[in-house]
Amino acid sequence: MKLYRIKKSKIDKNGLYASCDIKKGTRIIEYKGKIITVKQSETSSKFDNGKAIYLFNINKRFDLDGDFKFNTARLINHSCDPNCEVTGTGLKVWVHAIKDIKKGDEFSYDYGFSFDEDYENYPCRCKSKNCCGYIVREGSRWRIKKKKKKI
């Protein structure tokens, strides 16, 4: 049984939603794509933006390019209070629940974008209580708060 369905999202265009209640730790959907070498991703212009949304590092040698229509998991939006995480097992990459998720909730994960000079080009619309206003990885959000305080 599919644990997800595609629906219009308030965050951005389409998103992926829970089709039933899901327990923390459940594997929801495989993040499918093409396995490429780290060397290929480092030298390809497709990934020359540090914010390659669809690129996941699997290990020292391989990355996964998920920028394909058949990869339904690519529809998952970012949130500053995510309910999912994307992790690798062997050469496979899975989206799994990091919280109990209710039927009808939108899946989200932290896109892990770095805080750099162009972070303001990526406003966040996740509307979570702790939203920092931009798509920036959890560990770097304090930099935004610090910057706001200074102004």
Alpha-helical regions (H) of the chain: 38-43, 141-150
* Residue 11, binding choice from ligand SAM, Zn ion, none, Cβ under 5 to 8 Å by partner class: ligand SAM
CB nearer to Zn ion: pick between 29 and 80 = 80
Residues numbered 106-125 forming contacts with Zn ion, rule: CB under 5 A: 124
Q: What are phi and psi of 107, to 5 degrees?
A: -75, 150
Residues numbered 75-94 forming contacts with Zn ion, rule: CB under 5 A: 80
* Residue 71, binding choice from Zn ion, ligand SAM, none, Cβ under 5 to 8 Å by partner class: none
* Residue 99, binding choice from ligand SAM, Zn ion, none, Cβ under 5 to 8 Å by partner class: none
Strands (E), 12-101: 14-18, 27-30, 34-37, 55-57, 62-65, 77-78, 84-89, 92-97
- Which tokens go with 146? 């610090």
Considering the complex, what minimum distance in angstroms separates the CB of residue 22 from ligand SAM?
19
